[in-house]
Amino acid sequence: MYDIVVIGAGAVGCSVARFLSRYKANVCVVEKAEDVCCGTSKANSAIVHAGFDAAHGSLMAKYNLLGNLMFPDLAKELDFDFIQNGSLVVCMNEEDRPGLQKLYDNGIANGVKDLEIVEQDKLREMEPNISPKAVAALWAPTAGIVCPFSFTIAMAENANTNGVEFRFNTEITAIVHNGDHWTLQSKGGSIDTKYVVNAAGLYSDMFHNMVSEDKIHITPRRGDYCLLDRAVGDFLTHTIFQLPTKLGKGVLVSPTVHGNIIVGPTAIDIEDKEGTNTTSEGINELIEKAGNTVKDLPIRQVITSFAGLRAHEDHHEFILGEVKNAPGFIDCAGVESPGLTSSPAIGKAIAELLRDKMDLQPDPDFNGSRKGIVRPKELSMEERTELIRKNPAYGRIICRCESISEGELLDAIHRPLGAKSLDGIKRRTRAGMGRCQAGFCSPRTMEILAREWGVDQSEITKCGGDSKLILGTPKDREHKEEVERS
């Protein structure tokens, strides 16, 4: 019997787990995918919003601001990539100025610090590639950019190091209340727990509706993105949003923490909770809109496009807390933008809610700091040579585009909740995330994964399940026929 089971190992679930690991409790995170950060958390704008956008008084506004305030310290404590680069909401038309002012006022009401409306000259000085049509912008210096993978993975690793169990490939199919505890059914058997945290993202409505008569509804809202080559990464320094106009919402153009440029998202409501396919209409829309706020965006430098799904709740609001008439079942539902920004604050609040309910005691052995995978690029030449002398694997480059060494791959595999698949390696180390998109490194990464996990290469997957990368050996069918004949 667990004290608490968290359903979902995304940004929210891992944050809840990490803050729960400060207390003495028997906690488990169950995840249907083979790794953490496989749903909405892996495909989004990777922005830490300042908090001026969400409606004043909403949970979104509250947790956005709280989350934003937590990121700088958390990034140091947990060693993930975060840069406070500031954002600009660009107003393209004099007649839209009232909208800009409204956004500013809302931000002030929400408690966002250092907001400023900047005029043309300053705007151009700050961001030379801004569109010549831009008339003013709302500057939010507290906005930032984060690597959503390294953030979520850091939270999960730290939770795991502090005693939280993670069960992957565990899809919960039913939830039953058995008097004083909950029983979760999965193909692998049932799991008993006193408390349940529903952090299931797109599926949070499904789990909520299993235990409550007050039904909620989550719509998968697809967002297509394009990622541009690091070669053009210096195109911008701030995150650029377009002020929404009566013609609609624009798309954002932003640097990423790794020096790429991200463009997106679209917003298309769909039915399929796994429908992360891009469409040509979506990508064309991005390309068309991205040019609105900046001039001569080098869109031809795209290295990949992808789509993510937001868990859009019908009322566009977070649903957080214990479900009525379902004692011990805690929702974290409807967490869409600014969900990533809010996630650490939600995690902390939910952990404290459970602490109070369950009278959890602090764990004296809790260690809140975590070291990430070493980033050789940030070392001096002497330090790097020393690293290679101690472990020659750091001298063998596997991913040419991002200069990622075998040492980094080995660390990714052998650290807590280590990488098992090509995507797991990619999200932890960036190997395969560069301009050749894993063309050169994937056979080598597969070889290393197979060697380290002690399995045949044909067992290695892209992202778990049936995503096998190898389907046999040359002439194996012929050999089989020969054997059958003889």
Minimum CB distance to other proteins smaller for 210 or for 397: 397
Q: Which of 188, 327, 362, 465 binds other proteins (CB under 8 A)?
A: 465
* Structure-token pair, residue 121: 């000259």
Pick the stretch among 166-174, 329-337, 342-350, 454-462 that binds other proteins (CB under 8 A). Answer: 454-462
Is 296 near other proteins (CB under 8 A)?
no
CB of 260 to other proteins, least distance (A): 11
CB of 71 to other proteins, least distance (A): 28
What number of other Cβ atoms are within 10 A of residue 132's Cβ? 7
Q: Which of 72, 298, 372, 395 binds other proteins (CB under 8 A)?
A: 395
Is 470 near other proteins (CB under 8 A)?
yes
Give strand pairing partners of 224: 307
Is 169 near other proteins (CB under 8 A)?
no
- 3-state DSSP call for residue 70? helix
Is 469 near other proteins (CB under 8 A)?
yes
Is 116 near other proteins (CB under 8 A)?
no
Is 388 near other proteins (CB under 8 A)?
yes
What number of other Cβ atoms are within 10 A of residue 11's Cβ? 34
Q: How far apart are CA 239 and CA 137, in angstroms?
A: 12
Q: Which of 126, 231, 267, 353 binds other proteins (CB under 8 A)?
A: 231
CB of 314 to other proteins, least distance (A): 26
Q: Which of 302, 332, 350, 417 binds other proteins (CB under 8 A)?
A: 302
Is 128 near other proteins (CB under 8 A)?
no
CB of 431 to other proteins, least distance (A): 13
Q: Which of 385, 414, 455, 482 binds other proteins (CB under 8 A)?
A: 385
Within 13 Å and on the Cβ side, how many CA atoms surround 102?
Answer: 12
Q: Which residues in 264-303 are b (16+ Cβ under 10 Å) and which e?
A: bbbbbeeeebeebebeeebbebbbebbbbbbeebebebbb
Q: Which of 270, 303, 353, 358 binds other proteins (CB under 8 A)?
A: 303
Q: Which residues in 378-401 are b (16+ Cβ under 10 Å) and which e?
A: eeeeeebeebbeeeebbeebbbeb
Minimum CB distance to other proteins smaller for 43 or for 326: 43
Is 282 near other proteins (CB under 8 A)?
yes
Nearest-CA neighbor of 312 among 224, 222, 218? 218
Q: How far apart are CA 24 and CA 105, in angstroms?
A: 43
CB of 40 to other proteins, least distance (A): 15
Q: Which of 306, 353, 358, 416 binds other proteins (CB under 8 A)?
A: 306
- 3-state DSSP call for residue 378? helix
Is 403 near other proteins (CB under 8 A)?
yes
Q: How far apart are CA 450 and CA 459, in angstroms?
A: 8
DSSP β-ladder status, 165-167 and 82-83: unpaired
Give strand pairing partners of 138: 89, 117
* Structure-token pair, residue 368: 């809140």
Asked if residues 294 and 128 have their Cβ atoms less than 8 Å apart, the reply is no
Q: How far apart are CA 177 and CA 192, in angstroms?
A: 10
Q: How far apart are CA 307 and CA 321, in angstroms?
A: 29
Is 279 near other proteins (CB under 8 A)?
yes
Is 280 near other proteins (CB under 8 A)?
yes
Q: Which of 389, 414, 455, 482 binds other proteins (CB under 8 A)?
A: 389
Residue 113: C-alpha distances to residues 77, 88, 102, 362, 434 (Å):
23, 14, 16, 32, 36
Among this protein's residues, is 49 annotated catalytic? Answer: yes
Q: Which of 58, 165, 304, 317 binds other proteins (CB under 8 A)?
A: 304
Query: How many residues bind other proteins, per CB under 8 A?
Result: 58
Is 468 near other proteins (CB under 8 A)?
yes
Give strand pairing partners of 196: 5, 329
Q: Which of 180, 454, 471, 483 binds other proteins (CB under 8 A)?
A: 471
Is 447 near other proteins (CB under 8 A)?
yes
In the window 421-440, what residues touch other proteins (CB under 8 A)? Answer: 435-440
Is 482 near other proteins (CB under 8 A)?
no
Q: How far apart are CA 97 and CA 286, in angstroms?
A: 24
Q: Which of 64, 160, 278, 342 binds other proteins (CB under 8 A)?
A: 278
- 3-state DSSP call for residue 26? coil
Q: In degrees rounded to 5, what are phi and psi of residue 379?
A: -90, 160
Pick the stretch among 68-76, 260-268, 322-330, 476-484 that binds other proteins (CB under 8 A). Answer: 476-484
Q: How far apart are CA 4 and CA 159, in angstroms?
A: 13
Is 233 near other proteins (CB under 8 A)?
no
Contact footprint for other proteins (CB under 8 A):
226-227, 231, 274, 276-280, 282-283, 302-306, 381, 384-386, 388-389, 392-393, 395-397, 400-401, 403, 435-440, 442-443, 447, 457-458, 461-463, 465-478
Residues annotated as catalytic (active site), given as ranges: 49
